């Protein structure tokens, strides 16, 4: 009977393959020596290898939903309890500058505390990547919870300025870094087509957290005291972060990402360097806006309450703007929207903030408009990095991005306070100009990165057309539409590289 089946398949070479091929059958076929595979129907090994490859590739396709939405919710509250509460430092800064809590301390020294909290969180990114590589995502987050809570508790007992440097600056910042870096890449593992909107919803947590904590911190500083403000913040963030750590899940087992702390080969990629400079210039402007609004209000003659309201409204704009930026970038292109929103941020500094003067209404308008777009970097950095380097290199690439913005986040607020001119009609004129120029430079970097992406799309399309049985006339028609020409037998792209056509 078996011999008849074999002879039948040989006599009828056009017969189809069996519908079900088990793994043991695959292994037995692929292990047959080449000399023995000559008896198989033509193309069998190739078909089997393609089926096997398709099955393995299907595992890496993100589900684009499901439990991923639970992960988005967890990251939302993690951002609220890390970057959100860090956004309230502008209220702390205004309190320090208007009181004599730490005598003989200059405004520049206070500015470094906020910068240290951000730079410390970014500086330890490679260590966090190694920790999650050899342990789990939850382990890195638990370390972050201990550091962040301990930083707030220790800050409540601070009596000298260097105590705040170590506690509210370094210790809290390290906790923030462990929590954020451990969780930020998990969303992109769960989503593909909805990746930007999912990251945008999670990033909105920093806005909602900043809104709540800015108003809450101002109320606690007024009605309680500085030490108890730190202690209540510690207990609140502890409860939220523990619950999120229990519920969050990654897909490292399926994706097997490259979790090297430093993949220096990425620095040899022109497009990745542009991505880093987009982040550097964005942070030089972003931190100034984030931490300066309460003190800007005080310098313009507004009350402390009005200053905290401006900070809260900035975070409210982030809460609504970041999901919108994510949704739009999924529809119109992540690099497109990243560049446009960065440019809008620069324009808002020049057109709204600088002419605001002593008008509280215009300052409110700036807080809402700028808040909606100034955090575009945090909303789109993970999806855009995937566009540039791919999903497997995402952890290593993000580690390098975080390292590149350590210095800008450390010194940007100090630069703003140095540029401030007390006693003038508009003390914050030069910090406002500085912020606008930095976002303008960031927009140029994103525009150049987008130009690279267009060329990369064109190159892949032409390579694909050459690998298929496309006739010369059809290839020339497509290449002409995309700005390519065949010169001396080789494809060369023309000058219309600024166009964007979806492929």
Residue for token digits 């440097």? Answer: 165
Please, is 53 exposed, middle or buried when counting C-beta atoms within 10 Å of its C-beta (0-12, 13-18, 19+)? Answer: exposed
Residue 41 three-state SS: coil
Share of the chain above pLDDT 90, in %: 24
Alpha carbon 6 to its chain's center: 58
* Predicted pLDDT at 257: 60
What pLDDT is recorded for position 379? 81
Q: What 8-state DSSP symbol labels residue 484?
A: E
Model confidence, pTM: 0.69
pLDDT attached to residue 190: 81
Compute the distance between CA of residue 52 and CA of residue 48 in angstroms, rounded to an integer: 6
Per-residue pLDDT of 449-459, as tens digits, reads: 988 888 877 77
3-state DSSP call for residue 226?
Answer: helix
Task: Name the pLDDT band for 144 (thresholds 50, 70, 90).
Answer: very high
pLDDT of residue 495: 41
Mean pLDDT across the chain: 78
Domains and CATH numbers, the chain: 65-453 (1.20.1250.20)
- Name the pLDDT band for 260 (thresholds 50, 70, 90): low
SS3 content of the chain, % helix, strand, coil (to 5): 75, 0, 20
Q: What band does 468 get if pLDDT is binned at 50, 70 and 90?
A: low
Average pLDDT over residues 418-438: 88
**Residues facing 490 on adjacent strands:** 487
Please check the confidence at residue 333 and state whether its pLDDT lies above 90: no
277-280: long-range pairs with CB below 8 Å, 24+? 277/442, 277/445, 278/338, 278/342, 278/377, 278/442, 278/445, 278/446, 278/449, 279/377, 279/381, 279/401, 279/404, 279/405, 279/442, 280/404, 280/405, 280/408, 280/442
- The neighbouring-strand residues paired with 337 are none
pLDDT of res. 21: 42
Mean pLDDT of 409-418: 85
For residue 258, the model assigns a pLDDT of 56
Q: Which pLDDT value is given to residue 501?
A: 34
Tell me the mean pLDDT in the region 113-118.
Answer: 83
| 353 secondary structure, DSSP code | I
State the greatest distance between any 2 C-alpha atoms of the chain, in Å, as a whole number: 102
Task: State the Cα–Cα distance between residues 220 and 228, nearest whole angstrom.
Answer: 8
Q: Which residue has the higher pLDDT, 456 or 5?
A: 456
Alpha-carbon span 450 to 339, nearest angstrom: 8
Q: Would you say 339 and 446 are in contact if contact means Cβ atoms under 8 Å apart?
A: yes
Q: How far apart, in whole angstroms, are the C-alpha atoms of residue 26 and residue 43?
A: 14
- What pLDDT is stored for residue 502 in this prediction? 33
238: pLDDT strictly greater than 50: yes
Q: Summarize pLDDT for 267-287 with one digit per residue, the tens.
A: 888 889 999 999 999 999 998
Sign of CA dihedral 470, 472, 474, 479: positive
Q: Is the pLDDT of residue 185 over 80?
A: no
pLDDT value, residue 116 = 85
pLDDT score of 255: 65
pLDDT of 240:
94
Q: Extract the tokens encoding 418.
A: 């140095």
Q: What is the mean pLDDT of residues 96-122?
A: 81
Cα angle value 351/297/119 (rounded, 5°):
85
- Residues 6 or more apart whose CB falls under 8 angstroms from that of 304 comprise 94, 95, 98, 218, 222, 294, 297, 298
What whole-number distance in Å separates Cα of residue 285 and Cα of residue 412? 7
Q: What is the mean pLDDT of residues 191-204?
A: 80
Residue 486's SS3 state is strand
Mean pLDDT of 28-40: 44
Percent of the chain with pLDDT over 70: 78
Give the Cα separation of 308 and 229 in Å (integer). Answer: 15
Amino acid 210: pLDDT: 85
pLDDT band at 493 (very low <50, low <70, confident <90, very high): very low
pLDDT over threshold 50, residue 498:
no
What is the tens place of the pLDDT at every residue in 53-101?
444 444 467 677 788 899 999 999 999 999 889 888 878 887 887 787 7
The winner for highest mean pLDDT among 196-200, 348-352, 452-456 is 348-352
In the chain, the N- to C-terminal Cα span, in Å, equals 52
Q: Quick one: pLDDT at residue 437?
A: 95
Long-range contacts of 416-422, Cβ-Cβ distance < 8 Å, separation of 24 or more: 416/111, 416/288, 416/291, 416/292, 417/107, 417/108, 417/111, 418/108, 420/299, 422/299
Rounded CA-CA distance 324/208 in Å is 14
User: Residue 493: beta bridge partners?
Assistant: 484
Q: Which of 38-42, 56-60, 499-503 has the highest mean pLDDT?
A: 56-60
Query: Which of 388, 58, 387, 71 has its CA nearest to residue 255?
Result: 58
Tell me the mean pLDDT in the region 304-308. 81
**pLDDT, tens digit (0-9, with 9 covering 90-100), for 361-398:** 999 999 999 989 988 898 888 889 888 888 777 778 88
């Amino acid at each position: 009977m078996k011999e008849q089946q074999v002879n039948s398949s040989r006599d009828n070479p056009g017969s189809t393959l069996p519908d079900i091929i088990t793994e043991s059958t695959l292994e037995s076929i692929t292990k047959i020596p080449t000399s023995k595979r000559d008896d198989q129907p033509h193309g069998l090994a190739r078909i089997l290898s393609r089926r096997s490859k398709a099955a393995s590739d299907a595992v890496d396709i993100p589900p684009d939903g499901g439990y991923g939405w639970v992960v988005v919710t967890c990251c939302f509250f993690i951002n609220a309890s890390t970057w959100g509460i860090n956004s309230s430092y502008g209220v702390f800064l205004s309190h320090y500058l208007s009181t004599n809590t730490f005598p003989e301390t200059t405004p520049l020294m206070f500015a470094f505390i906020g910068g240290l909290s951000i730079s410390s969180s970014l500086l330890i990114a490679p260590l966090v990547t190694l920790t999650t590589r050899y342990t789990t995502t939850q382990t890195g987050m638990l370390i972050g919870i201990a550091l962040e809570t301990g930083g707030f508790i220790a800050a409540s007992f601070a009596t000298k300025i260097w105590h705040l440097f170590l506690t509210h600056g370094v210790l809290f910042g390290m906790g923030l870094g462990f929590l954020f870096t451990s969780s930020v890449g998990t969303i992109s593992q769960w989503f593909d087509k909805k990746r930007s909107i999912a990251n945008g919803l999670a990033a909105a947590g920093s806005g909602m957290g900043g809104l709540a904590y800015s108003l809450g911190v101002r109320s606690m500083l007024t009605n309680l005291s500085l030490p108890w403000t730190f202690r209540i913040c510690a207990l609140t963030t502890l409860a939220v972060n523990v619950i999120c750590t229990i519920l969050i899940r990654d897909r490292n087992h399926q994706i097997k990402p490259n979790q090297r702390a430093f993949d220096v080969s990425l620095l040899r990629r022109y497009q990745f360097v542009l991505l880093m400079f987009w982040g550097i210039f964005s942070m030089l402007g972003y931190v100034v806006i984030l931490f300066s609004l309460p003190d800007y209000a005080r310098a313009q003659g507004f009350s402390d309450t009005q200053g905290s309201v401006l900070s809260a409204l900035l975070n409210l704009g982030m809460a609504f703007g970041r999901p919108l930026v994510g949704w739009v970038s999924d529809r119109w292109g992540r690099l497109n929207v990243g560049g446009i929103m960065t440019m809008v941020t620069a324009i808002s500094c020049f057109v709204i903030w600088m002419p605001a003067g002593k008008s509280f209404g215009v300052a409110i308008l700036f807080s809402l408009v700028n808040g909606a777009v100034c955090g575009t970097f945090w909303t789109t950095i993970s999806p855009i990095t995937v566009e540039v380097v791919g999903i497997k290199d995402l952890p290593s690439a993000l580690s390098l991005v975080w390292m590149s913005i350590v210095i800008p986040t450390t010194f940007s607020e100090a630069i703003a306070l140095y540029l401030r001119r007390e006693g003038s009609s508009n003390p914050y004129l030069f910090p406002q100009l500085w912020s606008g120029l930095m976002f303008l430079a960031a927009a140029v970097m994103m525009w150049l990165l987008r130009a690279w992406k267009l060329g990369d799309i064109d190159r892949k399309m032409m390579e694909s057309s050459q690998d298929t049985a496309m006739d010369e006339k059809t290839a020339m028609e497509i290449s002409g539409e995309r700005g390519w020409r065949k010169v001396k037998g080789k494809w060369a792209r023309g000058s219309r590289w600024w166009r964007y056509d979806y492929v």
